[in-house]
Copies of this chain bind each other. A is one copy, B any other.
Amino acid sequence: MSTISRENKVFTVMVNFQCEPAEQAILVEALKISAPHFSNQKGFVSQNIHRSLDGTTVVSYLQWKSEKDHEACLSSPELMESGTDLIALMEKGKATMQVMPYEIVYTAEARGY
């Protein structure tokens, strides 16, 4: 379980993958393979992989302790190695990736959640 809140002292990053619906399951599996390597990075808080129901998009919602930890992750050779399946998909033109940091500007929730 991960939490989203304006009060959270975390650095939020969404990695947005676009793909053909026929490739989405392969993309998700490639992300799952690299996932444990994210969890081992310094400053890792959480990762949630989301697949769009229409098959065209996968979003990895990541939280880090700090921007510095996110930056370090981007240049981690260990992560590059764990992402070879993913890189292969992108090199074949079957997926695109966009890494984007975010700030939470508004939070609302129903009672009891």
Binding site for B on A (CB under 8 A): 1-5, 7-8, 12, 14, 28, 31-32, 35-36, 38-39, 44-54, 57, 59, 61, 63, 100-110, 113
Whether the Cβ atoms of B107 and A50 lie closer than 8 Å is no
Interface of A is mostly: strand
- Oligomeric state, in copies: 2
Contact partner of A1 (CB less than 8 A), chosen from B50, B61, B101, B109, is B109
Whether the Cβ atoms of A113 and B3 lie closer than 8 Å is yes
CA distance A2 to B46 in the complex (A): 14
CA distance A83 to B24 in the complex (A): 33
Whether the Cβ atoms of A2 and B113 lie closer than 8 Å is yes
Whether the Cβ atoms of A2 and B1 lie closer than 8 Å is no
